[in-house]
Amino acid sequence: MPACSGAIFLKNGSEISRDEINDVIMNDLHTWRDSPFPVQFFYTTSCGSCRDAREYFMSFIRKNPSVPVEFRNLASNEENRGLLNEYKKQFSGIKISYPIVFIGDFGITGSSDIIHVTGQIVREYLLQLNT
């Protein structure tokens, strides 16, 4: 499960662009069964890209204390690896690598996409949940 370039994808296996995020959330409101939170962040301590994403989330939780984020270190925890395998089953057809974040029906890989897209997805989910 090596680190690789970033992607934004959905449970149905489709990869999407940043520009499609808001439309996807608005169009899929009727299919939500559960809250999209907590944000699930999977990483390893030996991965440089993971460190960048982890630093981002440390700042994110200070700025967004009401949004729960679960930090899942894959290097030291069998339970976390098992949970990642469950997400792999849910997001079938997608090449899963780390760092990776799951927020509702979205998966994000790669530190750059995680850093630039997580806030947008969270804001849009919160906006829709509060309307």
Domains annotated on the chain, with CATH: 38-103 (3.40.30.10)
| pTM higher than 0.85 | yes
Q: pLDDT digit string (tens) for 8-65? A: 998 888 888 888 888 888 777 555 556 778 999 999 999 999 999 999 999 999 999 9
Are the C-beta atoms of 50 and 42 separated by less than 8 Å?
no
Strand pairing class (106-109; 69-73): unpaired
Q: How many residues does the chain have?
A: 131
Please give the pLDDT value at position 32.
55
Q: Is the pLDDT of residue 119 over 80?
A: yes
Q: How far apart are the first and last CA of the chain?
A: 39
